Amino acid sequence: MSKGSFPRAPRRAGLSGRAGGPTPLIVALVALVAAGLVGWLLWDASGGAADGAGHPVAATSAAAKAASPSGPSAPSAAASRPASGRPSPARSGDGGTASPGPSAGAGAGVTDDEAPRADGPLKGKVVLVDPGHNIRNSEHTAEIDRSVDIGTGRKECDTTGTSTDAGYAEAAFSLDVAHRLRTILRNQGAKVVFTHDGERPYGPCVTERAAIGNKAHADAAVSIHADGSAVGNRGFHVILPALVKGGAADTAPIVGPSKELGARIAGNFVRVTGSAPSNYIGGGTGLDTRGDLGGLNLSTVPKVFIECGNMRDPQDAGLLTDPAWREKAAQGIADGITDFLRG
């Protein structure tokens, strides 16, 4: 999620953004994450399957595998890192190009031409999926660097995102996981709206990403990312909106439901992927709260960001570039959204 490909200093924001003890929801999440980690350790002790980095992973259900494409292969580890420090454009087949079928409307996002399953458990629900960044942002630095109003201040329209040392771009990763997530949610009966599907020359700006979810009246929204932190910083974390009010930003109506959505996603992400919560953000809960992200500040629907891992750590990068692990990541996010929407 960090701009360019340079690691950023770890943030250590509180879970609620305010002083005081943990809420019952956070206590419940800690228990859920702990249970997932116990299962992870038992899986390891019993000689369970391992991913390419030698870490145990949970098995994906046969139904989920049947519903989702196996996906493209990751770039070779021998690929060169972009000389500019910005992610290089996605190569054919790495998830960075638009999938055929969806149609876009101005300011309305990208809707799926394929109808959701008529009898699915999420029938009638709308989910906004926001693939972080855009693979061509690095070609439009003037446009994405212009500042926009996020209610509590001004920030860049968008950023390039980060990449692995081998050059696999965060934007390609996020779009690939978004495609997998859309397939799973569609088979659950949900209507899925994308903020973009790689069809735009850059962006959209963070303000428009929020507006698309608001206009769709999404029942839940998730923005997919991967972090760009220091080597040794590992694991995922879910970013929740802080309580902010200023200009067009007023998160009071969505803070509670967004926290619940984030807790459900975090717990299911541990269970399905076998990945541990971040060891550098969130105090082991897998949750972080921020008030400086326009995509959250300007949202009027329950929304969270997920940083699926750290692209700058070789072990996390091994997972993020593995198509089988990305399928598990999409399944974990989908299960969290489904749990949230079904109550």
Hey, what are 255's tokens? 């803070």
Query: Which of the following is catalytic: 208, 260, 307, 327?
Result: 307
User: How are beta strands 191-194 and 220-227 bridged, if at all?
Assistant: unpaired
Would the CA dihedral through 78, 83, 85, 90 be positive or negative? negative
List beta partners, residue 109.
105
Structure tokens that stand for 149 in this block: 């109003």
Residue 48 CA to residue 29 CA, distance in Å, equals: 25
Closest to 207 in 3D by CA, of 108, 293, 106: 293
Pairwise CA distance, residues 186 & 189, whole Å: 5
| CA dihedral sign, ordered 51, 57, 59, 65 | negative
- Catalytic site residue 307? yes
Number of helices and strands (H, E) in the chain?
A: 9, 12
Whole-angstrom distance, CA of residue 334 vs CA of residue 170: 20
Nearest to 306 by CA among 36, 24, 1: 1
| 8 A C-beta contact, residue 110 and residue 102 | yes
| The token pair that represents 259 in the structure block | 């926290």
CA distance 330 to 57: 14
**336's tokens:** 């969290």
Query: Taking the CB of residue 109, how many other CB atoms lie within 10 A of it?
Result: 26
Residue whose structure tokens are 């088979």 = 187
Q: Supply the DSSP symbol for 137.
A: G
Nearest 5°: the CA angle 87, 91, 82 is: 30
Residue 331, amino acid: Q
Active-site amino acid positions: 307
